Amino acid sequence: MSLRHAILVLLQDEEASGYDLAREFANSIGLVWNATHQQIYLELGKLNEQNMVHYRHVPQDGKPDKKLYRITDEGRQELVRWLRRPAAPARVRDAFMVKVAGAALADPETLLGELDQLVQQRKERLANFEAEARKLERQSEGNSRFQHLTLRRGILDQEAWLAWAEEVREVLEDTLSHQH
């Protein structure tokens, strides 16, 4: 998957500013694709040059004009082409999992501290996904059903990670108790 396709998916139903898209990446699609504000704005520029999106200026009081982007017919055709191709298998890149694999050489207290931080982040992410899912449950038409499925996957991922984290905690605490 590429950032361009994630942006086109977000623009398929309504126009949005770069800021709106960045917020969507933080709240929903970010569970499957991460992007910084800078990456989003760079990609919007490329998509505009390739006639896959167009924008209109919206004047704002006391601020620079806002650009609202919308998908073009060419962008929609590209999105449809991409949707028809098989997706590549997902790759996991989780540094903490690697640390757990090498935990026999690590300080259990340090790993427990890092685990606590990650658990807090995951709980916050889970709460955000659940809040977004509740909003979508009130809408039952069109893309909201599919967006809900994506959020549901994110919720299940967070719940599974948190359950795994409890197992990691038990083993690290057991290791710590045997060291003393």
What does the pLDDT look like over 120-172, one tens digit per residue?
999 998 998 898 888 877 776 666 778 788 888 889 999 999 999 999 999 99
pLDDT at 123: 95
Which is more confidently placed, 36 or 55?
55
Q: Give CA angle at 47 (38, 39), nearest 5°.
A: 15
One-letter identity of residue 135? K
3-state secondary structure the chain: CCHHHHHHHHHCCCCECHHHHHHHHHHCHHHCCCCCHHHHHHHHHHHHHCCCEEEEEEEECCEEEEEEEEECHHHHHHHHHHHHCCCCCCCCCCHHHHHHHCHHHCCHHHHHHHHHHHHHHHHHHHHHHHHHHHHHHCCCCCHHHHHHHHHHHHHHHHHHHHHHHHHHHHHHHHHHHHHC
What does the pLDDT look like over 75-123, one tens digit per residue?
999 999 999 999 888 777 889 999 999 998 989 999 999 999 999 999 9
What does the pLDDT look like over 36-49, one tens digit per residue?
889 999 999 999 99
* pTM for the structure as a whole: 0.73
CA distance 177 to 163: 21
